[in-house]
Protein backbone atom coordinates (compact mmCIF):
# COMPACT_ATOMS: atom_id res chain seq x y z
CA UNK A 1 0.00 0.00 0.00
CA UNK A 2 1.25 3.50 -0.86
CA UNK A 3 2.44 5.62 2.01
CA UNK A 4 -0.01 8.14 3.49
CA UNK A 5 -0.53 11.36 1.56
CA UNK A 6 -0.11 14.55 3.62
CA UNK A 7 -2.28 17.58 2.72
CA UNK A 8 -3.52 20.79 4.33
CA UNK A 9 -7.22 20.59 3.51
CA UNK A 10 -9.37 17.58 2.63
CA UNK A 11 -12.92 18.20 1.39
CA UNK A 12 -15.25 15.22 1.54
CA UNK A 13 -18.24 15.63 -0.79
CA UNK A 14 -18.92 17.51 -4.01
CA UNK A 15 -22.28 19.29 -4.01
CA UNK A 16 -22.64 23.10 -3.87
CA UNK A 17 -21.17 23.09 -0.34
CA UNK A 18 -18.09 21.04 -1.20
CA UNK A 19 -17.28 22.87 -4.42
CA UNK A 20 -17.80 26.31 -2.84
CA UNK A 21 -15.55 25.31 0.06
CA UNK A 22 -12.98 24.20 -2.52
CA UNK A 23 -13.13 27.53 -4.38
CA UNK A 24 -12.53 29.53 -1.20
CA UNK A 25 -9.94 27.13 0.20
CA UNK A 26 -7.98 27.07 -3.06
CA UNK A 27 -7.97 30.86 -3.33
CA UNK A 28 -6.68 31.02 0.25
CA UNK A 29 -3.74 28.80 -0.62
CA UNK A 30 -4.94 25.71 1.27
CA UNK A 31 -4.32 23.48 -1.78
CA UNK A 32 -7.51 21.49 -1.18
CA UNK A 33 -8.07 17.94 -2.32
CA UNK A 34 -11.74 17.13 -2.88
CA UNK A 35 -13.16 13.60 -2.99
CA UNK A 36 -16.48 13.56 -4.81
CA UNK A 37 -17.99 10.48 -3.17
CA UNK A 38 -20.51 8.15 -4.79
CA UNK A 39 -22.70 11.00 -6.08
CA UNK A 40 -20.41 13.59 -7.70
CA UNK A 41 -22.32 16.87 -7.68
CA UNK A 42 -24.79 15.71 -5.03
CA UNK A 43 -28.57 15.91 -5.32
CA UNK A 44 -28.42 18.52 -8.08
CA UNK A 45 -27.21 15.81 -10.44
CA UNK A 46 -30.75 14.40 -10.41
CA UNK A 47 -32.35 17.84 -10.75
CA UNK A 48 -33.29 19.20 -14.15
CA UNK A 49 -34.31 22.88 -14.13
CA UNK A 50 -32.77 25.05 -11.41
CA UNK A 51 -34.39 28.48 -11.56
CA UNK A 52 -33.79 29.82 -8.05
CA UNK A 53 -29.99 29.99 -7.94
CA UNK A 54 -28.66 33.56 -8.34
CA UNK A 55 -26.62 34.30 -11.44
CA UNK A 56 -28.56 32.09 -13.84
CA UNK A 57 -31.32 34.42 -15.14
CA UNK A 58 -32.60 31.83 -17.62
CA UNK A 59 -32.26 28.90 -15.23
CA UNK A 60 -29.81 26.05 -15.57
CA UNK A 61 -29.79 22.28 -15.57
CA UNK A 62 -28.59 20.86 -12.24
CA UNK A 63 -25.74 18.78 -13.75
CA UNK A 64 -24.60 21.74 -15.86
CA UNK A 65 -24.46 23.98 -12.77
CA UNK A 66 -22.41 21.40 -10.87
CA UNK A 67 -20.03 21.17 -13.81
CA UNK A 68 -19.58 24.95 -13.60
CA UNK A 69 -18.86 24.67 -9.86
CA UNK A 70 -16.28 21.92 -10.49
CA UNK A 71 -14.51 23.87 -13.24
CA UNK A 72 -14.31 26.95 -11.04
CA UNK A 73 -12.85 24.94 -8.14
CA UNK A 74 -10.28 23.31 -10.44
CA UNK A 75 -9.37 26.66 -12.00
CA UNK A 76 -7.97 27.78 -8.64
CA UNK A 77 -6.02 24.58 -8.11
CA UNK A 78 -8.39 22.17 -6.34
CA UNK A 79 -7.55 18.54 -6.99
CA UNK A 80 -10.86 16.77 -7.64
CA UNK A 81 -10.80 12.99 -7.24
CA UNK A 82 -13.70 10.78 -8.27
CA UNK A 83 -13.50 8.45 -5.32
CA UNK A 84 -15.19 7.75 -2.00
CA UNK A 85 -13.81 8.38 1.49
CA UNK A 86 -15.24 5.53 3.59
CA UNK A 87 -13.32 5.76 6.89
CA UNK A 88 -11.96 8.53 9.12
CA UNK A 89 -10.02 8.82 12.38
CA UNK A 90 -10.16 12.13 14.23
CA UNK A 91 -8.32 10.99 17.35
CA UNK A 92 -5.08 12.89 16.75
CA UNK A 93 -4.02 16.43 15.91
CA UNK A 94 -3.59 15.35 12.29
CA UNK A 95 -6.83 13.93 10.93
CA UNK A 96 -6.76 10.69 9.02
CA UNK A 97 -9.04 9.42 6.27
CA UNK A 98 -9.05 6.43 3.95
CA UNK A 99 -10.38 6.10 0.43
CA UNK A 100 -12.44 3.13 -0.69
CA UNK A 101 -9.32 1.86 -2.41
CA UNK A 102 -7.34 1.95 0.85
CA UNK A 103 -5.24 5.10 0.29
CA UNK A 104 -4.52 6.80 3.63
CA UNK A 105 -4.65 10.60 3.80
CA UNK A 106 -3.33 12.80 6.61
CA UNK A 107 -4.89 16.27 6.61
CA UNK A 108 -4.46 19.30 8.85
CA UNK A 109 -8.10 20.26 8.24
CA UNK A 110 -11.18 18.49 6.95
CA UNK A 111 -14.36 19.98 5.50
CA UNK A 112 -17.32 17.60 5.48
CA UNK A 113 -19.81 18.25 2.67
CA UNK A 114 -21.35 14.81 2.26
CA UNK A 115 -24.93 16.10 2.03
CA UNK A 116 -28.15 14.19 2.57
CA UNK A 117 -30.21 11.92 0.36
CA UNK A 118 -33.97 12.14 0.03
CA UNK A 119 -35.90 9.09 1.18
CA UNK A 120 -38.09 7.57 -1.52
CA UNK A 121 -41.02 5.17 -1.45
CA UNK A 122 -39.23 2.62 -3.61
CA UNK A 123 -41.73 2.58 -6.47
CA UNK A 124 -40.42 1.87 -9.96
CA UNK A 125 -42.72 4.54 -11.39
CA UNK A 126 -41.47 7.07 -8.83
CA UNK A 127 -37.87 6.64 -10.01
CA UNK A 128 -38.83 6.57 -13.69
CA UNK A 129 -40.71 9.87 -13.43
CA UNK A 130 -38.17 11.70 -11.28
CA UNK A 131 -37.86 15.29 -12.60
CA UNK A 132 -40.87 14.61 -14.85
CA UNK A 133 -43.34 15.52 -12.10
CA UNK A 134 -41.88 13.55 -9.20
CA UNK A 135 -39.89 15.64 -6.74
CA UNK A 136 -38.59 15.58 -3.18
CA UNK A 137 -38.49 19.38 -2.81
CA UNK A 138 -41.53 21.66 -3.09
CA UNK A 139 -39.48 24.82 -2.61
CA UNK A 140 -37.21 23.76 -5.50
CA UNK A 141 -39.88 22.57 -7.92
CA UNK A 142 -43.28 23.86 -6.77
CA UNK A 143 -43.15 26.82 -9.15
CA UNK A 144 -43.39 24.47 -12.14
CA UNK A 145 -46.81 23.25 -10.91
CA UNK A 146 -48.45 26.62 -10.40
CA UNK A 147 -52.18 26.31 -11.16
CA UNK A 148 -52.10 22.48 -11.20
CA UNK A 149 -53.26 19.81 -8.75
CA UNK A 150 -50.50 17.98 -6.90
CA UNK A 151 -50.04 15.24 -4.28
CA UNK A 152 -47.74 15.22 -1.26
CA UNK A 153 -46.78 11.97 0.48
CA UNK A 154 -45.99 12.04 4.18
CA UNK A 155 -47.40 12.87 7.59
CA UNK A 156 -44.55 14.67 9.34
CA UNK A 157 -43.53 18.30 9.62
CA UNK A 158 -41.78 18.23 6.24
CA UNK A 159 -44.90 16.97 4.45
CA UNK A 160 -47.13 19.49 6.23
CA UNK A 161 -44.76 22.31 5.35
CA UNK A 162 -44.51 21.21 1.71
CA UNK A 163 -48.30 20.89 1.42
CA UNK A 164 -48.96 24.37 2.84
CA UNK A 165 -46.26 25.84 0.60
CA UNK A 166 -47.76 24.21 -2.51
CA UNK A 167 -51.27 25.26 -1.48
CA UNK A 168 -50.30 28.89 -2.10
CA UNK A 169 -49.80 28.23 -5.81
CA UNK A 170 -51.87 25.10 -6.58
CA UNK A 171 -55.69 24.93 -6.65
CA UNK A 172 -55.67 21.62 -4.76
CA UNK A 173 -53.11 19.65 -2.80
CA UNK A 174 -53.79 16.01 -1.98
CA UNK A 175 -51.91 14.95 1.14
CA UNK A 176 -51.42 11.17 1.41
CA UNK A 177 -50.99 10.06 5.03
CA UNK A 178 -50.57 6.33 5.60
CA UNK A 179 -51.93 6.37 9.16
CA UNK A 180 -55.08 7.86 10.69
CA UNK A 181 -53.08 10.71 12.19
CA UNK A 182 -50.06 12.84 11.36
CA UNK A 183 -46.67 12.77 13.05
CA UNK A 184 -46.35 16.49 12.40
CA UNK A 185 -46.19 18.95 15.28
CA UNK A 186 -49.48 20.37 16.55
CA UNK A 187 -48.88 23.78 14.98
CA UNK A 188 -48.13 22.28 11.56
CA UNK A 189 -51.24 20.10 11.72
CA UNK A 190 -53.29 23.19 12.50
CA UNK A 191 -51.90 24.96 9.45
CA UNK A 192 -52.87 22.02 7.24
CA UNK A 193 -56.38 21.91 8.73
CA UNK A 194 -56.87 25.65 8.17
CA UNK A 195 -55.75 25.50 4.54
CA UNK A 196 -58.95 24.91 2.58
CA UNK A 197 -57.36 23.60 -0.60
CA UNK A 198 -55.44 20.82 1.13
CA UNK A 199 -57.34 17.51 1.18
CA UNK A 200 -55.89 14.96 3.57
CA UNK A 201 -56.36 11.32 2.55
CA UNK A 202 -56.00 9.28 5.74
CA UNK A 203 -54.79 5.65 5.80
CA UNK A 204 -53.68 6.12 2.22
CA UNK A 205 -50.57 4.87 0.43
CA UNK A 206 -49.31 5.40 -3.10
CA UNK A 207 -49.14 2.25 -5.22
CA UNK A 208 -48.04 3.74 -8.52
CA UNK A 209 -47.28 7.11 -10.05
CA UNK A 210 -49.14 7.30 -13.34
CA UNK A 211 -47.85 8.72 -16.58
CA UNK A 212 -45.48 7.98 -19.42
CA UNK A 213 -43.33 11.05 -20.11
CA UNK A 214 -44.78 13.10 -17.25
CA UNK A 215 -46.93 12.58 -14.17
CA UNK A 216 -50.65 12.40 -14.90
CA UNK A 217 -51.89 10.91 -11.63
CA UNK A 218 -51.30 8.53 -8.77
CA UNK A 219 -52.94 5.21 -7.93
CA UNK A 220 -53.55 4.91 -4.20
CA UNK A 221 -54.95 2.36 -1.75
CA UNK A 222 -56.81 2.88 1.49
CA UNK A 223 -54.98 0.46 3.79
CA UNK A 224 -58.06 0.05 6.00
CA UNK A 225 -60.67 -0.74 3.33
CA UNK A 226 -58.19 -1.99 0.67
CA UNK A 227 -60.09 0.18 -1.82
CA UNK A 228 -57.97 1.48 -4.71
CA UNK A 229 -58.56 4.77 -6.53
CA UNK A 230 -56.78 7.24 -8.78
CA UNK A 231 -56.07 10.93 -8.24
CA UNK A 232 -55.44 13.16 -11.25
CA UNK A 233 -52.35 15.20 -10.38
CA UNK A 234 -49.47 16.73 -12.32
CA UNK A 235 -46.96 16.76 -9.48
CA UNK A 236 -46.03 14.08 -6.93
CA UNK A 237 -43.96 15.29 -3.98
CA UNK A 238 -42.34 12.74 -1.70
CA UNK A 239 -41.86 14.30 1.75
CA UNK A 240 -40.93 11.40 4.01
CA UNK A 241 -37.61 12.85 5.10
CA UNK A 242 -33.93 12.89 4.24
CA UNK A 243 -31.04 10.78 5.46
CA UNK A 244 -27.79 12.67 6.01
CA UNK A 245 -24.74 10.90 4.62
CA UNK A 246 -22.84 11.00 7.90
CA UNK A 247 -22.49 7.38 9.04
CA UNK A 248 -18.69 7.35 8.84
CA UNK A 249 -18.48 10.27 11.27
CA UNK A 250 -20.77 8.96 14.02
CA UNK A 251 -17.92 7.69 16.21
CA UNK A 252 -16.12 11.03 16.13
CA UNK A 253 -18.59 13.89 15.85
CA UNK A 254 -21.75 14.94 17.66
CA UNK A 255 -24.84 14.05 15.63
CA UNK A 256 -28.46 14.85 16.37
CA UNK A 257 -31.11 12.14 16.70
CA UNK A 258 -31.60 11.94 12.92
CA UNK A 259 -27.89 11.86 12.03
CA UNK A 260 -27.18 15.49 11.12
CA UNK A 261 -23.78 16.75 12.29
CA UNK A 262 -24.06 19.40 15.00
CA UNK A 263 -21.91 22.48 14.43
CA UNK A 264 -21.06 25.26 16.86
CA UNK A 265 -23.81 27.89 16.25
CA UNK A 266 -22.81 30.65 13.87
CA UNK A 267 -19.83 28.69 12.55
CA UNK A 268 -18.95 25.63 10.50
CA UNK A 269 -16.86 24.23 13.37
CA UNK A 270 -17.52 20.82 14.91
CA UNK A 271 -16.44 19.76 18.38
CA UNK A 272 -13.19 18.40 16.89
CA UNK A 273 -10.58 21.09 16.19
CA UNK A 274 -9.80 21.32 12.50
CA UNK A 275 -12.93 19.49 11.37
CA UNK A 276 -15.66 21.60 9.75
CA UNK A 277 -19.07 20.79 8.29
CA UNK A 278 -21.18 22.42 5.59
CA UNK A 279 -24.26 21.86 3.49
CA UNK A 280 -27.00 19.31 4.02
CA UNK A 281 -24.84 17.13 6.26
CA UNK A 282 -25.68 19.69 8.97
CA UNK A 283 -28.72 21.57 7.59
CA UNK A 284 -32.11 19.89 7.94
CA UNK A 285 -34.08 23.14 7.75
CA UNK A 286 -33.32 24.93 4.48
CA UNK A 287 -31.69 22.28 2.25
CA UNK A 288 -31.16 24.61 -0.71
CA UNK A 289 -28.21 24.83 -3.08
CA UNK A 290 -27.64 28.48 -2.23
CA UNK A 291 -27.59 27.90 1.54
CA UNK A 292 -25.30 24.90 1.09
CA UNK A 293 -22.91 27.06 -0.93
CA UNK A 294 -23.00 29.69 1.82
CA UNK A 295 -22.01 27.19 4.50
CA UNK A 296 -19.29 25.85 2.20
CA UNK A 297 -17.83 29.35 2.16
CA UNK A 298 -18.09 29.51 5.98
CA UNK A 299 -16.29 26.17 6.34
CA UNK A 300 -13.40 27.25 4.12
CA UNK A 301 -13.00 30.57 5.95
CA UNK A 302 -13.11 28.80 9.32
CA UNK A 303 -10.52 26.28 8.07
CA UNK A 304 -8.24 29.05 6.83
CA UNK A 305 -8.40 30.84 10.20
CA UNK A 306 -7.73 27.59 12.04
CA UNK A 307 -4.69 26.73 9.92
CA UNK A 308 -3.36 30.27 10.32
CA UNK A 309 -3.81 30.22 14.08
CA UNK A 310 -2.06 26.84 14.26
CA UNK A 311 0.84 28.18 12.24
CA UNK A 312 0.33 25.65 9.45
CA UNK A 313 -0.08 28.30 6.75
Q: Which residues are tagged catalytic?
A: 137, 140-141
| Rounded Cα gap, residues 34 and 78, in angstroms | 7
**In the beta sheet, which residues pair with residue 204?**
222
241, 256 Cβ separation under 8 angstroms: no
Q: Strands (DSSP E) along 225-312, which ranges?
A: 228-231, 235-238, 242-244, 275-277
Q: How many Cβ atoms sit within 10 Å of the Cβ of residue 214?
A: 12
| Rounded Cα gap, residues 19 and 293, in angstroms | 8
Taken in order 291, 296, 297, 303, is the CA torsion positive or negative? Answer: positive
| Rounded Cα gap, residues 241 and 259, in angstroms | 12
Helix runs in 52-196, H state only: 62-75, 124-128, 138-141, 157-167, 186-194
Amino acid sequence: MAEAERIKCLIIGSGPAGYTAAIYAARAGLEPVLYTGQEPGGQLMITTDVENYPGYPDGVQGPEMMEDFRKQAERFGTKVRMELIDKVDFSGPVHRAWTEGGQEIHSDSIIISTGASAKWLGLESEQRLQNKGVSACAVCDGFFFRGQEVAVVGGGDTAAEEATYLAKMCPKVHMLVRRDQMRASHIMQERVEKTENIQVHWNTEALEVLGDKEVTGVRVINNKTQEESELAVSGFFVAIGHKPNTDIFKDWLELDETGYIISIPGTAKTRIKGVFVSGDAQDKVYRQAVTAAGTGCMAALDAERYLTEEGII
